[in-house]
Amino acid sequence: MPSTIDIRRRIRSVKNTQQITKAMKMVAAAKLRRAQERMFAARPYAAALREVLSSIATRVDVTAHPLLKAHDVERNVLVIPVTADRGLCGAFNSNIIRATVNFIREKNFESVQLLPIGRKANDFFKRREIPIRRQATHVFQALSLKTAQEIGKDFIEDFVSGEIDAVYIIYNEFKSLIAQQVRIMRMLPLERPWDELQNPVDYLYEPGPEAILEDLLPKHIEFQLYRILLESAAAEQGARMTAMEAATKNASEMISHLTLTYNRIRQASITKEIIEIVSGAAAAQS
């Protein structure tokens, strides 16, 4: 049975940990508010950009553009798993890593390369056999559209040159404070939802729609990547906030349990001392 000194030391240690988890929860809540504001601000622009792109694409031969032309067989594929740079956010990182491994195993591509975004994904896959084409760590410390443009420019050039046949990205989509959904999205070649668009409004474009489409498609891909990174950043803070709240609650329960154990041991010790005193006094009287 542990001594009262050991239990007091354990209670003090758990209380210190509880203070840390409570502080981390408050920090995550503050970061979450800022991440949500940026994410919600990006969503309308991404939707409007997609709408303009759909309108233009109905008026040109989209099959002639390399970013829209699907390859007959996806032999060389680039997969982009998006994780966080730090842990202590529940199953946020492990869900992405598991989904990436399962996706590669199920599709059974002839050749797969990775572009891990986030230190957790890079640390995991650099010890595996799958080659890493490029790594992007610490992007969430100062996330900006320029960061997404630099990452997107590389795989766009590789796709146009024919080095890769498709680009898939796996990330956590922000649903709510307590829910994130793993999404697998094909970045390249671009999906074509405008094929189902009916009765489009007839606009006049200057310069022509072909020139606008040529300039707009790379921007669309780069901004979609930026939106995905914002979604992942918000989802990360939500997952960390939930994990730290659960850790703080578990610490409170552990403190209550240790305090009860401490009181029982202390009461048993006092009772034993009283019995010894009474027994000694009775023996002295006899």
Q: Are 226 and 82 in contact (CB under 8 A)?
A: no
Out of 14, 89, 148, 170, which one is annotated catalytic? 89
Give the residue among 228, 177, 179 at the shortest CA–CA distance from 32: 177
* Residue 124: partners with Cβ closer than 8 Å, 6 or more residues away: 97, 116
Neighbouring C-beta atoms of residue 156, cutoff 10 Å:
21
Clarify whether 16 is annotated catalytic. Answer: no
- What is the rounded CA–CA span in Å between residue 165 and residue 78? 8
Strands 166-176 and 179-188, bridge-based pairing: antiparallel
- Are 148 and 223 in contact by the 8 Å Cβ rule? The answer is yes
- Active site residues per annotation: 89
